[in-house]
Structure 1
């Protein structure tokens, strides 16, 4: 499957919109569209809640917007969950948990360079979902192996459905929690995380990648068995540029980097323009090229996207839409500059 590079555009899925049609239209305005996640429209669309659908032991209170876990309930529901493990419908995203996923799948998307789906990853899910003792379920040696397999099945079912609409479909595993992995307070070592993520990705169909907006250990991340890395280069340009050896190895293996370059925060966005953003990204590439990373690969195996999602601006929908438009303009200009057609 050819991964879409050459500075085509996509974006992370979490969007601030409450107008479902408008959100879908914005996603379709990009070269590689996706189905939006709309937590301001419904709590079911919170990325952790969406990933938790059918997970045994989950206690969801939509009215109070809380997501909890009970080990006793997990034990009660475990056998019933195992009995459904060969049922693709059990692992798919239902219409209750997404207002737009099934609409997206009903569209004719075959002529797009690719399409994309997403699901919250096991590390972030396990860190953020707490049990009855306020303990992250990631630390539970009984729950964690099941969680890895459960999330892998959910990713595979979604990817299969997306591939039925476009053969070049791929998945983002959203892992914001990876930036906390190496904190002394995490209580979850990099060795343990590497083993768990290797086990997880061994069960996940290709092509697959990780998306996060934070600042993890980039050596750790770039050496996972991935095809795609989506990240916020606008904020982390200087730090990321210092990992040239791992970036070169990732690209040499055919990896694709999604450069999140256009800010979605209203104040930050207002201080930038197209030339300044292009210069910011080109400066990163120049720094990496000086350290031995092939410039042609950075471009051919690169996409452009907004830097982050944004749910907090007073005019968050307008700012996000402007960021999407800026990404598209930036792509057109840079593709012309680099003669990409």
Structure 2
């Protein structure tokens, strides 16, 4: 069973362009990660980073654009099938990740866990569109291959992490889950739930999802995840209303990574470690009133920044500050 106890971690995307500074920040948490650095180069964008070698994908670095071509998919599909049994075919290219190999080379033995990350299939499939600007997720066969492709990518990454640490995991970054069940989406809840569950069942190690939006929380809490990372600063008050699902999720050993520290400068300037600790404890108080005691919550909770942030005018200063507050909040809870 995973251990909670206010361990600190974060999603992988950082605004840094200096690799050493990004690595140092990632390693300052209890559960470190290899950083994704989209400001360093476009291929570090989470969609571009994992799109390489998917049949039919065209990455235009000059225009910072990714599109899907059905014609190219048909041309490249046989080659994909031939190579899909070769684990190294799904390796993360060094040109797409400045930090990955350096992270693996670190001595990570003092950490209880380490993690990697990858764009989730729903977000990838909704974001990347075909020649008619139709999201590729709406093509049943393409979607089946997308799930297969990302399963292989995750397995390769997990196995690399496993070589340097006994307790790794690779979580899915899924901002698209906020959009998929609205009235405009043609990918229904029922179909997605079955397919996503089948996809998760094939993944190695603990299964986690991070998103900073406000999705249908019942979908994720019932999806047989081990880790759910949420923007609790913005949406925690809604998550805790799903009392029965949260209770069942925690009772079966799940971890909620509470993204309680904002990373946006305008939100961060009015907060302190104590104010954010109180904010989290108010969410826990609501759950206390519905039969979840603090011991259970503490034992099944991690702490994280609320979201990655690439738009602050101060470069990396606000994100660096949010990580410092995160460590203070963790210390507050452990003393309590």
* TM-score, with structure 2 as normaliser: 0.98
The separation in 1 between residues aligned to 2:146 and 2:106, in whole angstroms, is 31
Match of 1:48, SS? helix
Task: Write the distance in 2 (CA, Å) between the matches of 1:164 and 1:292.
Answer: 41
Give how far 1:271 is off: 0.8
Work out the number of aligned pairs and report it. Answer: 336
8 A Cα contact 2:230 2:236, kept in partner: no
- Tell me the CA shift for residue 163 of structure 1: 1.4
What pairs up with 1:156-175 in 2 under 5 angstroms?
A: 156-175=155-174
Does the 8 A contact of 2:34 with 2:100 survive in 1?
Answer: yes
Residues 173-322 of structure 1 aligned to structure 2 (within 5 Å): 173-322=172-321
Q: d(CA) in 2 for partners of 1:177 and 1:9?
A: 25
Whether contact under 8 Å (2:168, 2:205) holds in the other structure is: no
Contact 1:310 1:316 in 2 (8 A): no
Give the match's secondary structure for 1:259.
strand
What residue is the counterpart of 2:51 in the other structure? 52
1:180-229 deviations in Å (ceiling 9; x for gaps):
12210112111111022012112211211100000001111100011000
Deviations 1:129-166 (CA, angstroms, capped at 9, x unpaired): 00111110000112011111110111111111111111
Preserved CA contact (<8 Å) 1:258 1:305: yes
Structure 1 stretches of 4+ moved >6 Å: none
1:20, CA displacement in angstroms? 1.0
Distance in 1 separating the partners of 2:114 and 2:47? 22
CA contact (8 A) 2:210 2:230 kept: yes
Measured on the aligned residues, the alpha-carbon RMSD in Å equals 1.0
Q: Could you tell me how far apart the structure 2 residues matched to 1:316 and 1:336 are?
A: 33
Deviation string 1:99-151 (CA, Å, 9 cap, x unpaired) is 01111111111221100000001000000000111110000112011111110
Corresponding residue number in structure 2 for 1:6: 5
Query: Which of 258-267 and 85-94 deviates more?
Result: 85-94
Report the Cα distance in structure 1 between the residues aligned to 2:317 and 2:86, rounded to whole angstroms: 40
8 A Cα contact 1:4 1:114, kept in partner: no
Unaligned runs of 5+ in 2: none
Does residue 128 of structure 1 match 2:127? yes
Cα distance per residue 1:211-257 (max 9 Å; x no partner): 00000011111000110000011101221111111001001111011
Asked if the contact 2:173–2:209 (Cα under 8 Å) also holds between the matched residues in 1, the reply is: yes
Post-superposition CA distance 1:33-65 (Å, at most 9, x none): 000111010100001111212111110111110
Contact map agreement 1:17 1:317 (CA 8 A) in 2: yes
Q: Which residue of 2 aligns with 1:115?
A: 114
SS of residue paired to 1:35: coil
- How big is the shift at 1:294? 3.2
Whole-Å separation in 2 of the counterparts to 1:240 and 1:86: 40
- 136-145 or 290-299: which moved more? 290-299
- In the TM superposition, 1:80-95 aligns within 5 A as 80-95=79-94
